[in-house]
Amino acid sequence: MRSLLSFFALVWAVAVSAISTTGDRLLVVLDDVADQSSYSKFLGDLTSSSPCPLSVLRYWPYRGFKLSFETPKSESLSLFHLGERAYDHVILFPSKSKGLGPNLTANLLLQFINANGNILLTLSSGSSTPSSIVSLLAELDIQLPADRTGLVVDHFNYDAASAADQHDVLLLPAPHSIRPDIKDFFGAGAGSDEVLVFPRGVGATLGSGELLMPIVRAPRTAYSYNPKEQGEVVDDLFAAGEQLALAAAFQARNSARFALVGSAELLEDAWFDAEVKTTSGQAAKTFNREFAKRLSGWAFQEIGVLRVNWIEHHLNEVGASNESNPGIYRIKNDVTYTISLSEWSWSSWSTFKVPANDGLQLEFSMLSPFHRLDLALDPSHSTAEAAAYTASFKLPDQHGIFNFKINYKRPFFTNVEEKNTVSVRHMAHDEWPRSYVISGAWPWITGIGATVAAWLAFCALWIYSAPVDQKKKGAKKL
């Protein structure tokens, strides 16, 4: 077990060279390559080449992406090269053209996701979404307003400084996790006076699939309308309130990530350190820079990445040999299973703490689970970089081929699926309890003993006895 752990560490140290776990080649697709100056802080954070502690609370990590800038219709743009991905991540900024060109069709973007590439897509209410993007979002079960353009407004939560009349710059609280069992990746540590600014963005509605998760939901009084046609009255409402997702996440089954941000403007330099005013007149600072870092960090596999280091199961009975991961057990054996998990957070592996209210579960199953047990943290096998989780249980009294299954799929974490197959044999003929411990058998055993004793006595009597004295008997009779 120890040697296995060090072997894995060696292999991993050799293999990793980028800070994102899946690579550092980042493609940025813009209509006009000169536009990148308005996103200079966001892109600069992505390429940051040295650690820079700007504040005690936020430590800008070494992210070290290598950016390439292309326009959508450029001929040299190709997501694949000789069958392999040419880039590891793609950022798509809003484009005014109707289609994104032959190199970025919805099909190619989906192939990119299937090849473990990550995509960060930004939309804007100012330009209508290209048809290939709409097809891609439809494939992922994300719906955009009709006419592919919409504007999210909120007459109750807007920035009084810049959008006092139009109400199209939304002020949102820092996004905390929607469910209590999900780790708060995006809003943890935000100050109470910090707001997320969502200027002139598009809201989307998400399908009900399990791969989709909203990151930022619109406030309850917000709604989406088409500024060109619905300027006076909203006759056909697309969606309103918390059904509108302003930022959403999609994680494919191969753990490739797709993040959708409804407003590309929230990534602009102007909003990163802006001062905004709430409707009640309070000044607030924007949370956009930190949010952009965390959102891109999630999308590009810098946070929320899990790794299984080793799995070990063994027989946990008195007198059992010390063998790890045997291939065969017996029914009703006591078995202990341990799995070691690490979580990648920005630049290093650390112990993976299962979020509160959530549980890492082990399934012991043949065709369906016979046991589904919560694994508990095992400090004796945990290190500073890996946490071990263990469970001890009794194998079912059904023989067959069973699997130790770990199926840990959670929103925002990479999928962990591990399967170890073992045989479970039935009791051997000499493993049953002996008859002398079965109280119901005592009369029978006593019977055998009685028979043996009577037999031996009979033999002795028959060989060594003398007949009874006839004379005496005879005399009596007479």
Please give the residue ranges that form the binding site for another protein (CB under 8 A): 153, 155-156, 164-167, 179, 181, 208-210, 220-221, 223, 225, 232-235, 237, 240-243, 279, 332, 357-359, 361, 363, 369-374, 394, 396-397, 409-411, 438-443, 446-447, 449-450, 452-457, 459-461, 463-468
**CB of 130 or CB of 219, closer to another protein:** 219
Neighbour tally for 165: CB within 10 Å = 7
Structure tokens at 191: 């100050």
Concatenated DSSP letters of 351-363:
EPPPPTT---EEE
Shortest CA distance to 363 belongs to which of 414, 406, 409? 406
Shortest CA distance to 121 belongs to which of 215, 255, 297, 262? 262
Residue type present at position 306: L
**CB of 326 or CB of 369, closer to another protein:** 369
Strand-pairing partners, residue 142, are 206
- Cα atoms in the Cβ-side hemisphere of radius 13 Å centred on 51: 9
Shortest distance (Å) from residue 468 CB to another protein: 4
Shortest distance (Å) from residue 146 CB to another protein: 15
Shortest distance (Å) from residue 400 CB to another protein: 13
Shortest CA distance to 63 belongs to which of 347, 426, 372, 428? 347
**CB of 81 or CB of 462, closer to another protein:** 462
Shortest distance (Å) from residue 253 CB to another protein: 11
**CB of 84 or CB of 210, closer to another protein:** 210
Helix (H, G, I), strand (E, B) or coil at 424: strand
**CB of 279 or CB of 316, closer to another protein:** 279
Looking up tokens 């590309």, which residue turns up? Answer: 264
Strand-pairing partners, residue 406, are 362, 418
Structure tokens at 213: 């998760």
**CB of 33 or CB of 457, closer to another protein:** 457
Shortest distance (Å) from residue 447 CB to another protein: 5
**CB of 84 or CB of 469, closer to another protein:** 469
Shortest distance (Å) from residue 203 CB to another protein: 13
Concatenated DSSP letters of 269-291:
HHHHT-EEE-TTS-EEEE-HHHH
Shortest CA distance to 185 belongs to which of 259, 254, 132, 131? 259
Shortest distance (Å) from residue 111 CB to another protein: 25
Q: Are 216 and 247 in contact (CB under 8 A)?
A: yes
Rounded to 5 degrees, φ, ψ at 51 are: -65, 140
Helix (H, G, I), strand (E, B) or coil at 293: helix
Shortest distance (Å) from residue 238 CB to another protein: 11
Q: How many residues does the chain have?
A: 478
**CB of 327 or CB of 467, closer to another protein:** 467
**E-only strand ranges, 76-124:** 80-81, 84-85, 89-92, 118-122
**CB of 208 or CB of 321, closer to another protein:** 208
Angle at 286 between CA 31 and CA 251, to 5 degrees: 60
Q: Provide the b/e sequence for 177-193 (b: ≥16 CB within 10 Å).
A: beeeebbebbbeebeee
Shortest distance (Å) from residue 82 CB to another protein: 36
**CB of 230 or CB of 288, closer to another protein:** 230
